[in-house]
Amino acid sequence: MTRRISHWIGGKPWTGEPERTGEVFDPATGEVRARVDLAGAGQLAEAVEAAAAAFPGWRDTSLAGRTRVLFAFRELLVARRDELARVITDEHGKVLSDAAGEVQRAIENVEYACGAPQLLKGGFSENASRGVDVYSIAQPLGVVGVISPFNFPAMVPLWFVPNALACGNTVVLKPSEKDPSAANLIAELFAEAGLPDGVLNVLHGDAVAVDGLLRHPTVKAISFVGSTPVARHVYETGTAEGKRVQALGGAKNHMVVLPDADLDLAADAAVSAGFGSAGERCMAVSVVVAVDPVGDELVSKVTERMQALRVGDGRDPGSEMGPLVTAAHRERVASYLDAGVAEGAELVVDGRRLDVGGGGFWLGPTLFDHVRPGMSVHSDEIFGPVLSVVRVSSYDEALELVNANPYGNGTAIFTNDGGAARRFQNEIEVGMVGVNVPIPVPVGYYSFGGWKDSLFGDSHAYGPEGFHFFTRTKVVTSRWLDPSHGGVNLGFPRNM
């Protein structure tokens, strides 16, 4: 019997008959591990109704009561981090140490949300006018939808869910249908931590569930992470429906290496950030921009390191890189190898030569040199273990190349010149910048977000902007009458 993965609605697993189901694979063997229910209109309505019914009670739960649940959830996550990492690896394919890193970054966001009593303090101005006080209150929005991609099945949901809950909202989480189990474990741990039924619901599904959430009048806001075309669709549809939307999209992250850089450090960074999680990270480095004359030496150092990488089943502690998530994605990524060659790039390392055996979705680390703008390997987000090297003659050419790219998620510069790095951080049109740091994912008390086609909306994810996104502000102007009450006055209120 294939295991069934179903929705979590109103504090318990959904036990109805699904109209549609999807296959969930073990990417290392290619076998079907489970079948996931794909929501239709009925389950969508049930999940939203459960969240709406839970909202008044959760909204009025004290700050202490809400954060107590978050502290307890944090303890459970820490205690069961290995189990969650294993669930991620089984369905995503990434190696266990990488999955453990994902869980650790998720825990950071829970820890931030535990600061809600401090973070939700409003402002207070005594005597804004004589005898008049003005103060602001941050209130929850209501039912919010969180829609997440396959590549971080625990971390991305936990970029949003803890902050949304801390602010007093109730949530319908729609995880990726490719690796849905992590979301259910998260919901179970929240229930064990004391979260009331219906405050967090998990609705499994595909575009049908997403479009349903976007159009449901009870859903007040949507936090989305995924590819750029879907992010744009989510933003346009959700805002047209009058919702608050933040939609984080795809990426093409460039790492610029200046001639004065430490090339061993740069080569280590390019290989780690290019092939970690098989390149299936929105902050992966996919293009190395080598400023003359470092190209030859850098390509040789990167190639040397790639040849030592151990690719295998993510559950094997010896593996450094696992398989791709599905057979279809593996084929799509592999198709870029022929495309790159046809467009004139030099295929230095061909990942198709890798033979791991078994039926998994394998593709080895791949390196292209002499890539030029306009080639599909440069313009498209490949989202796999394919690294491209573009050679340029100057810092200015490197800057122009990165700024001309429609994506603006992450970037990095490798240099020992503080002045050049400072110029780069000022001039680059990208939301997250690393200086000798290849994957500059902000810590939980900053916010995460790209520019241009990498983010639609004006709030970045988690951190202070997350709290801003999940609350709306009310400003109260109050006067308690005293004997100086001046009677009727039809003039516009002036502050005296």
User: Catalytic positions, please?
Assistant: 282
Core vs surface per residue 280-304: b (16+ CB within 10 A) or e? bbbbbbbbbbbbeebbeebbebbbe
C-alpha–C-alpha distance, residues 474 and 47, integer Å: 28
Q: Which is nearer to ligand NAD, 258 or 324 (CB)?
A: 324
Helix (H) or strand (E) holding 231: helix 228-240
Contacts with ligand NAD, 441-480, as mask; x by CB under 6 A: ---------x---x--------------------------
Q: Does residue 226 belong to the site contacting ligand NAD (CB under 6 A)? A: yes
CA distances (Å), origin 197, targets 170, 188, 194: 10, 11, 9
Please report whether residue 397 would count as binding ligand NAD according to CB under 6 A.
Answer: no
Task: Please report how close the Cβ of residue 495 comes to ligand NAD at its closest, in angstroms.
Answer: 43
Residues 364-383 vs ligand NAD: string with x where CB under 6 A?
A: -----------------x-x
Task: Evaluate the CA torsion angle 387, 391, 394, 397 in order and state its sign.
Answer: negative
Instruction: Rule CB under 6 A: say whether 225 interacts with ligand NAD.
Output: yes
Choose the stretch contacting ligand NAD; rule: CB under 6 A; options: 67-75, 80-88, 227-235, 371-379: 227-235
Stretch that binds ligand NAD, among 45-53, 151-159, 337-345, 486-494 (CB under 6 A): 151-159
Cα–Cα separations (whole angstroms), residue 104 to 86, 97, 107, 109, 298: 13, 11, 5, 9, 32
Smallest distance from ligand NAD to CB 406, Å: 13
Nearest to 138 by CA among 111, 169, 160: 169
CB nearer to ligand NAD: pick between 113 and 225: 225
Cα dist from 335 to 28, 323, 376, whole Å: 20, 16, 11
Residues touching ligand NAD, count (CB under 6 A): 29
Which residues from 233-252 bind ligand NAD, rule CB under 6 A?
Answer: 233, 248-251
Cβ-based nearer residue to ligand NAD, 139 or 227: 227
Least gap, CB of 167 to ligand NAD (angstroms) = 20
Q: Which is nearer to ligand NAD, 111 or 211 (CB)?
A: 211
Q: How far is CA 171 from CA 10, 43, 187, 448, in A?
A: 11, 15, 11, 20
Which of 114, 119, 230, 289 forms a contact with ligand NAD (CB under 6 A)?
Answer: 230
Query: Minimum distance between the CB of residue 354 and ligand NAD, rounded to whole angstroms?
Result: 22
List, in sequence order, the alpha helices (H) in 17-59: 41-59
Q: Yes or no: say if 455 and 114 are a contact pair by the CB < 8 Å rule.
A: no
CA angle in degrees (0–180, nearest 5) for 384-385-387: 110
Q: Which residue is nearest to ligand NAD (CB)?
A: 226
- Between 230 and 263, CB nearer to ligand NAD: 230
- Helix axes 155-166 and 96-113, enclosed angle (nearest 10): 10
Q: By C-beta, is 173 or 258 nearer to ligand NAD? A: 173
Residue 153 token pair: 């099945």
Q: Quick check: 85 binds ligand NAD (CB under 6 A)? A: no
Is residue 38 involved in binding ligand NAD (CB under 6 A)? no
314 Cβ contact partners less than 8 Å away, ≥ 6 residues apart: 28, 89, 92, 93, 94, 95, 96, 98, 99, 322, 323
Candidate ranges 119-127, 174-182, 310-318, 339-347; the one touching ligand NAD (CB under 6 A): 174-182
Return the residue of 409, 411, 415, 447 that touches ligand NAD, per CB under 6 A: 409
* 407 binding ligand NAD? (CB under 6 A): no
Instruction: In angstroms, give the least distance from the CB of 367 to ligand NAD.
Output: 20
Would you say 133 or 380 has its CB closer to ligand NAD? Answer: 380
- Minimum distance from CB of 246 to ligand NAD (Å)? 10
Which of the ranges 2-10, 171-179, 302-310, 468-476 carries the binding residues for ligand NAD, by CB under 6 A? 171-179
Task: State which H helix or E strand residue 465 sits in.
Answer: helix 463-469
Identified binder of ligand NAD from the candidate list 107, 210, 222, 290, rule CB under 6 A: 210
CB 390 within 8 A of CB 233: no
Render 56-89 in DSSP notation, one character per residue.
HHHHTS-HHHHHHHHHHHHHHHHHTHHHHHHHHH
Binding range to ligand NAD, per CB under 6 A, among 47-55, 135-143, 221-229, 298-306:
221-229
Q: What track of x and - describes contact with ligand NAD for positions 249 through 268 (by CB under 6 A)?
A: xxx-----------------
Contacting residue, 84, 147, 166, 387, with ligand NAD by CB under 6 A = 147
Residues 273-302 close enough to bind ligand NAD by CB under 6 A = 282
Separation between Cα atoms, residue 237 and residue 457, nearest integer Å: 12
Q: Is 179 in the site for ligand NAD (CB under 6 A)?
A: no
Q: Greatest CA separation found in the chain?
A: 88
Q: Where are the alpha helices (DSSP H) in 80-227?
A: 81-92, 96-113, 116-119, 155-166, 181-192, 207-215
CB 91 within 8 A of CB 33: yes
State the virtual CA torsion across 447, 451, 456, 459 in degrees, nearest 10. 30
Pick the piece of the chain touching ligand NAD (CB under 6 A) from 43-51, 138-146, 150-158, 345-353. Answer: 150-158
99 binds ligand NAD (CB under 6 A): no
Q: For residue 245, report the phi and psi dihedrals to the nearest 5 degrees.
A: -135, 135
Distance, in Å, from the CA atom of 249 to the CA atom of 228, rounded to the nearest integer, reads: 4
**Interface positions with ligand NAD (CB under 6 A):** 147-152, 156, 174, 176-177, 206-207, 210-211, 225-227, 230, 233, 248-251, 282, 381, 383, 409, 450, 454
